[in-house]
Amino acid sequence: MERMELRISHALSMLPESEKGTFSKAIASSAKLRVAVLEKRLREARAMLRKFEDRYGKAYPDFEGDFPDSADMQSHEDLAEWAFWDRVARDCFAAIEGYKLLTGQ
């Protein structure tokens, strides 16, 4: 576990019982809002990934692995954009999973 979690636990232990529930509800509410934003971004990223998959008939790892040195400029641009959306999708998915774990969902 990260050190930050220990600090939060310590700070929570200092709160009166009446405030612990309020703090937990505030964190859960903020996490739910953030998950909603991340899920929207993830849908956008997945739509962009599908666009490239449809265009090239393969998934990003296969396209990147088979990418020829002699590829044209458009293919190079697509590779860069595809890599960007692949990273966005992976980061959003990981963040959503982390928030869900944090909130017990």
Whether the CB-CB separation of 14 and 89 falls below 8 Å is answered with no
Site of tokens 């996490």: 31
d(CA 49, CA 45): 6
The model's pLDDT over 31-59, given as tens digits with 9 standing for 90+, comes to 999 999 999 999 999 999 999 999 999 99
Q: 76: burial class by Cβ within 10 Å (0-12, 13-18, 19+)? A: exposed
In the chain, domain spans: 32-103
- Asked whether the predicted pLDDT for residue 92 surpasses 90, the reply is yes
pTM over 0.75, yes/no: yes
The model's pLDDT over 14-34, given as tens digits with 9 standing for 90+, comes to 888 888 788 888 888 899 999
d(CA 90, CA 93): 5
Least Cα distance to 26 among 41, 8, 40, 53 occurs for 8
